[in-house]
Amino acid sequence: MGRKLVTETNTGHPTPAHVTLAVVLQVRAGELQSLLWQRARAPFKGRWALPGGYLSKGDTLEDSIRRHLAEKVDVRDLSHLEQLETLSEPKRSPKEWQLATAYLGLMPSDVDPELPGDTDWHAVDNLPALAFDHDSIVPAGRERLRAKLSYTNLGFALAPSEFTISELRDLYAAALGHDVSATNLQRVLLRRGVLEPIGRQRASGPTGGRPGSLFRFRTSELEITDQFAVLRPPGPARLPVA
C-alpha cells in the first residue's frame, strides 16, 4: 500500500491523519492485563495492537475512542477513561503521516466482556510483539495507573462494587507490581476517606475461615486524596504504603 496523501486545510497547512488508541487495563487471574487485537492486514499484519481507529469528522477524541472500543472489540463497561499521551513522531506509521492520541481505560475485575475472535487479554509483563509504537504506550498506561493509585482514589476503577480488604490488596498488588500490606492499605484508605464499610461480611468459603468485612469506594468519581503520597515496594526502610 502506498503512502497516504497528506491533505491540506483551506489555510494551506498540511493535515496529518489522526487515530485514537486505548490502553485498556484490567486485573485478571491475579495479573494486570491489557486488551489487544490482532491486525488482519498490512502494515504489521498478524501483530497485536491496541484497539482504536481513525478520528471521524465531527468526533471529539473521547467520542472516537469510545466508538472504536464499542464497535471493534465490544467494550462498553469502562469504569474510567482518561487521555494518556499524544504521539507525533512523523514516521510512527510506515504508510502515512499520522498522529495518535492514546487513552487509558480501566475495567473492574468482575466484568468479563465477550470479545471478538481477534481480540484477547495479555499480561502487561509478558506482551507479544506489538505493531507501530504500541510497545511504548502500554507501559505508559501502566505507569499512569501506578502513579494515580498512590495519590488518588483510582482503585475504584479496578475493584468490584464491594470487596474485602484482602481482595482489594490483591488488586493493588497486581496493578503496582509488588506486594502491599492489607493492614496498611486499609489504614491509609480509611484515613483518606476513600473507603467505607457496608455493614456486611463475605460468607466463609468451603474451607471455612473468618468472614471478611465488606467495603466499597465512597465515590466512583476521580479525586486527589493525597498529592504527595507514593505507594512503594516493601523494603528494609520502607512501609508498603506511604
Contact 229, 242 (CB under 8 A): yes
| pLDDT, tens digit, 9 for 90 and up, residues 124-133 | 999 999 999 9
This model's pTM is above 0.85 = yes
233: closest CA among 191, 183, 186, 172?
A: 172
| pLDDT, tens digit, 9 for 90 and up, residues 161-205 | 999 999 999 999 999 999 999 999 999 999 999 999 999 998 765
> Where do the domains of the chain lie?
7-138, 152-217
pLDDT of residue 204: 65
Class of domain 152-217: mainly alpha
* Low-confidence spans in the chain with pLDDT less than 50: 1-6, 236-242
Q: How many residues does the chain have?
A: 242
pLDDT of residue 8: 53
pLDDT of residue 237: 39
Query: How deeply is 130 buried, as exposed, middle or buried, from its count of CB atoms within 10 A (0-12, 13-18, 19+)?
Result: buried
pLDDT of residue 4: 42
Class of domain 7-138: alpha beta
